[in-house]
Amino acid sequence: MKFISLTTMIMSAAVLAGIVTAQVPDGKPCAQTEQYECGRLAGYNRGYPFLFFCSSQNFVEVVKTCNCGDCCWVYKGGVGDDGYFGCTCFRNWWYWRAPP
Protein backbone atom coordinates (compact mmCIF):
# COMPACT_ATOMS: atom_id res chain seq x y z
CA MET A 1 0.00 0.00 0.00
CA LYS A 2 2.80 2.43 0.81
CA PHE A 3 4.47 1.60 -2.50
CA ILE A 4 1.36 2.62 -4.46
CA SER A 5 1.01 5.93 -2.66
CA LEU A 6 4.69 6.74 -3.21
CA THR A 7 4.35 5.93 -6.91
CA THR A 8 1.26 8.13 -7.12
CA MET A 9 3.10 11.01 -5.46
CA ILE A 10 6.03 10.73 -7.89
CA MET A 11 3.72 10.64 -10.91
CA SER A 12 1.73 13.62 -9.63
CA ALA A 13 4.92 15.64 -9.14
CA ALA A 14 6.05 14.78 -12.68
CA VAL A 15 2.70 15.88 -14.16
CA LEU A 16 2.78 19.15 -12.22
CA ALA A 17 6.33 19.83 -13.36
CA GLY A 18 5.20 19.34 -16.97
CA ILE A 19 2.34 21.78 -16.50
CA VAL A 20 4.60 24.43 -15.03
CA THR A 21 7.20 24.21 -17.82
CA ALA A 22 4.72 24.17 -20.73
CA GLN A 23 4.29 27.61 -22.24
CA VAL A 24 0.99 28.85 -23.62
CA PRO A 25 1.17 31.63 -26.22
CA ASP A 26 -2.21 33.25 -25.38
CA GLY A 27 -1.67 36.74 -24.02
CA LYS A 28 1.91 37.11 -25.27
CA PRO A 29 2.70 40.21 -27.37
CA CYS A 30 2.47 40.21 -31.17
CA ALA A 31 3.27 42.71 -33.91
CA GLN A 32 0.62 42.63 -36.65
CA THR A 33 -2.50 44.18 -35.06
CA GLU A 34 -5.85 42.77 -36.24
CA GLN A 35 -4.20 40.14 -38.46
CA TYR A 36 -3.59 36.40 -38.40
CA GLU A 37 -0.07 35.03 -38.06
CA CYS A 38 1.74 31.74 -37.65
CA GLY A 39 4.05 31.16 -34.72
CA ARG A 40 6.13 28.59 -32.90
CA LEU A 41 6.93 28.42 -29.22
CA ALA A 42 9.27 25.91 -27.59
CA GLY A 43 7.33 23.56 -25.36
CA TYR A 44 3.97 24.28 -27.03
CA ASN A 45 2.22 22.00 -29.54
CA ARG A 46 5.21 19.62 -29.73
CA GLY A 47 7.18 22.32 -31.56
CA TYR A 48 4.72 22.49 -34.45
CA PRO A 49 3.41 25.90 -35.54
CA PHE A 50 0.13 27.40 -34.43
CA LEU A 51 -2.21 29.88 -36.06
CA PHE A 52 -3.09 32.95 -34.02
CA PHE A 53 -4.89 36.27 -34.27
CA CYS A 54 -3.14 39.43 -33.07
CA SER A 55 -5.76 41.39 -31.12
CA SER A 56 -6.24 45.15 -31.24
CA GLN A 57 -4.20 45.33 -28.02
CA ASN A 58 -1.36 43.36 -29.71
CA PHE A 59 -1.85 40.13 -27.76
CA VAL A 60 -1.82 36.59 -29.16
CA GLU A 61 -5.11 34.67 -29.33
CA VAL A 62 -4.48 31.10 -30.53
CA VAL A 63 -6.95 30.04 -33.25
CA LYS A 64 -5.67 26.57 -34.14
CA THR A 65 -2.71 24.30 -33.49
CA CYS A 66 -1.14 22.71 -36.55
CA ASN A 67 -0.13 19.06 -36.75
CA CYS A 68 2.76 19.31 -39.20
CA GLY A 69 5.91 21.38 -39.41
CA ASP A 70 5.15 23.41 -42.52
CA CYS A 71 1.37 23.60 -42.85
CA CYS A 72 0.60 26.94 -41.16
CA TRP A 73 0.05 29.77 -43.62
CA VAL A 74 -1.51 33.23 -43.85
CA TYR A 75 -2.28 35.17 -47.02
CA LYS A 76 -2.79 38.95 -46.86
CA GLY A 77 -3.05 38.94 -43.08
CA GLY A 78 -6.00 36.54 -43.20
CA VAL A 79 -8.50 39.41 -43.25
CA GLY A 80 -10.72 41.05 -45.85
CA ASP A 81 -12.12 39.56 -49.03
CA ASP A 82 -8.69 38.37 -50.21
CA GLY A 83 -7.34 37.19 -46.86
CA TYR A 84 -6.96 33.50 -46.13
CA PHE A 85 -5.31 31.46 -43.40
CA GLY A 86 -4.97 27.83 -42.55
CA CYS A 87 -3.31 24.97 -40.78
CA THR A 88 -3.41 22.51 -43.67
CA CYS A 89 -1.32 21.78 -46.73
CA PHE A 90 -1.36 24.76 -49.09
CA ARG A 91 -3.08 22.75 -51.81
CA ASN A 92 -6.18 22.90 -49.58
CA TRP A 93 -6.00 26.69 -49.13
CA TRP A 94 -9.77 27.08 -49.48
CA TYR A 95 -10.32 25.03 -46.31
CA TRP A 96 -9.89 28.00 -43.94
CA ARG A 97 -11.15 31.46 -44.75
CA ALA A 98 -11.13 34.58 -42.64
CA PRO A 99 -14.50 35.48 -41.13
CA PRO A 100 -16.34 38.30 -42.92
DSSP per-residue codes, 40-59:
--TTSGGG--EEEEE-TTSB
- pLDDT of 4 > 80? The answer is no
Q: What's the whole-number mean pLDDT along residues 73-96?
A: 77
Percentage of the residues of the chain whose pLDDT score is greater than 90: 41
Global pTM? 0.66
Q: What's the whole-number mean pLDDT along residues 51-56?
A: 94
Q: With beta carbons less than 8 A apart as the criterion, state whether 71 and 87 touch.
A: yes
**What confidence tier does 15 reach under pLDDT thresholds 50, 70, 90?**
very low
**What confidence tier does 70 reach under pLDDT thresholds 50, 70, 90?**
confident
| Distance between CA atoms of residues 81 and 99, nearest Å | 9
Q: What Å distances lie between residue 77 and 7, 8, 14, 32, 67, CA to CA?
A: 50, 48, 40, 8, 21
- Amino acid at site 24: V
Closest to 54 in 3D by CA, of 25, 83, 96: 25
Helix, strand, coil distribution of the chain in percent, nearest 5: 30, 25, 45
